[in-house]
Amino acid sequence: MPTDADAAARIPPVLRPEHSPRRSLDELVARFAREVRGDTTGGAVNGVTLATADLRPGEAFVAIRGVNRHGAEFAAAAVEKGAVAIVTDAEGAEIAASAGVPIVVVDDPRGVLGALSAWVYGTGSEDDLPLLFGTTGTNGKTSVSHVLEGLLTQLGVTTGLSSTAERHIAGQVIVSRLTTPEASEMHALLALMRERGVEAVAIEVSAQALSRRRVDGIVFDVAGFTNLTHDHLDDYADMTEYFEAKLPLFRPGRSRRAVVSLDSAAGRDVVARAEVPVTTVGTPAIAVDPAEAEAADWVVTIGEERQTGTEFTLTGPNGRALTSVVPVIGPHMAANAGLSIVMLLAGGYAWDDIVAALDRDGGIRSYLPGRTERVSGDRGPAVFVDFGHSPDAFEKTLAAVRRVTPGKVLMLFGADGDRDATKRHDMGRTGVEGSDILIITDHHPRFEDPASIRATLIEGARRARPDAEIYEYSPPEVAIVEAVKLVGEGDAILWAGPGHQDYRDIRGVRTPYSARELARRALRDAGWPVPEPHWPVPYPD
């Protein structure tokens, strides 16, 4: 049975450059302070952090007012671990008065964190950084980021990646902590990438990252927009506020140019309000307004769909056209591939080089962890594990699975606890409308009652299809076993929600868990052949 210590050990580390910078505390004060308490003469700082758990000797500890406590309450712990200065507001300065190190007082510690981190690590817009690609939107951010990295690798570029799933640094793979790291972590990561010779980086940029200033101090060479659909209304009052949270990415100081998908209605609004040069891309087969998508600068046309990938053709100005394959199912994944290619063009990569690489390799070579990832073998039911956990993601992915499945489609999913509950009825509705059999289970209950979450999902499904075949199983370890019993050769299971994740959040504890591995085991125990896993297994046999 895993312990709390085991769970803590599984949380990925914060990455730092291998050769720590040394910045003068006096210069830090001159650049950022409203006032300073204590003597900074001759002092130096070699890093920045918000968390005492990640603090290393010689770093500045930035103390921010939280919902329940002020970070300055942990100043003594920070100093004990080697902090050489505390950066905080006036309230924090009073709390940390006895810390024993200089206290740098600023008006807004979070507001200054990005600029401070960029200065410490030398990663400001004027510095010699890799080419930066940032992608935002509700769905597809992670897929676009991984496709971008795959394409860049095919072009012979040394790459970096920061996504919901993973961080990549010149071939090193590390599991992610947050979709977008805190600003101090992001700048440290960029400094490490630069040290290791990374030439281009694909970064997933969530709305929360923009609202909470996690990408402050970074200017993206190309910003991409995928779509906007119902999600994250636990963080934003309504869809308008959610949309507004994404717009800053498309302004000078955040990006230099943009590529915007017109497949959702929000795309045209991003184009209208962007303050940087914009190129558009559309996929008429899935767009809310097919005519608008058809009129985009670049158009994605869907070709043959099969369980191993989706063919597409990308056409654009001056008669340019290419036909290729993205190694995942669904027109939405082909749309993500088209967006990625156009982002590379906006970043200065040559059309002929991209076409040559795709022709040489027989398509896009990218691995998208937990994105409609097939974990089953050549015989028996096809089992796909997907990270999508919104009604729109369910609808698109189920439709994609349906088109490549000759038999029944079974949908298995749960919902996050302590997150946007307003989408749960729609999750149940889209799940049951797109499947032949529906199984409701648990996901991350957090501190919410999992039975109550399941009941709301089932209620939404029953309202949409009262006569549907619906089952409820808890925990998910049982649900996937029962799901495999209900299907056979030619059928498919879509397990939506967990994707690449290797834990479940149960009352604040990260419990080891892998939907991919559980699905493999259920298939194997049912007598179906399964491939060897290419992901870390979170628990032994």
Q: Give 101's contacts (C-beta < 8 A, 6+ positions apart).
A: 38, 79, 83, 84, 85, 86
DSSP-based three-state secondary structure for 112? helix
CATH class of residue range 131-361: alpha beta
- Read off φ and ψ for residue 84, nearest 5 degrees: -100, -10
Residue 28's alpha-carbon distances to 41, 45, 121, 411, in angstroms, are: 11, 9, 12, 55
And the tokens for 115? 């600029």
Structure-block tokens of residue 74: 């942990």
* Top CATH class, 22-121: alpha beta
* Predicted pLDDT at 10: 46
Quote the DSSP letter at residue 223: E
pLDDT of residue 512: 87
Longest dimension (CA), the chain: 76
Q: Is residue 221 helix, strand or coil?
A: coil
Single-letter code of the amino acid located at 321: A
d(CA 199, CA 190): 11
pLDDT at 108: 96
Spatial CB neighbours of 264, under 8 Å, sequence gap ≥ 6? 227, 228, 229, 287, 288
pLDDT at 279: 98
Of 197, 75, 33, 50, nearest to 130 (Cα)? 197
Could you tell me which CATH number the domain at 373-525 has? 3.90.190.20
Please name the residue that has the structure tokens 């179906």.
Answer: 528
Sequential pLDDT tens for the chain (541 residues):
333 333 344 455 678 999 988 999 999 999 999 999 999 999 999 999 999 988 999 999 999 998 889 999 999 999 999 999 999 999 999 999 999 999 999 999 999 999 999 999 999 866 689 999 999 998 889 899 999 999 999 999 999 999 887 899 998 988 765 556 789 999 999 999 999 999 999 999 998 899 989 999 999 999 999 999 866 566 777 888 989 999 999 999 999 999 999 999 999 999 999 999 999 999 999 999 999 999 999 999 999 999 889 999 999 999 999 999 999 998 999 999 999 999 999 999 999 999 999 999 999 998 887 778 899 999 999 999 998 888 988 998 999 899 999 999 999 999 999 888 999 999 999 999 999 999 999 999 999 999 999 999 999 999 999 999 999 999 999 999 999 999 999 999 999 988 778 889 899 888 888 999 999 999 999 999 998 876 656 554 4
CA–CA gap between residue 388 and residue 330 (Å, rounded): 13
* Nearest Cα to Cα of residue 36 among 87, 84, 75, 71: 87
Other Cβ atoms less than 10 A from the Cβ of 352: the count is 9
DSSP class of residue 304 equals: E
The radius of gyration of the chain's CA atoms, rounded to the nearest angstrom, is 24
Q: Between vectors from CA 292 to CA 286 and to CA 297, what angle results, nearest 5°?
A: 100
What is the predicted pLDDT for the residue at 122?
A: 93
Q: How far is CA 32 from the centre of its chain?
A: 31
Contact present, 47 and 188 (Cβ < 8 Å): yes
Q: What is the per-residue pLDDT for 11?
A: 53
CB 5 within 8 A of CB 181: no
Cα–Cα distances (Å) from 272 to 223, 250, 275, 279, in that order, read 15, 11, 9, 12
d(CA 450, CA 265): 34
Tell me the domain boundaries of the chain: 22-121, 131-361, 373-525
d(CA 117, CA 188) in angstroms, rounded, equals 8
pLDDT at 5: 37
Query: Token pair 């927009």 is at which residue?
Result: 225
Nearest to 349 by CA among 126, 153, 189, 168: 153
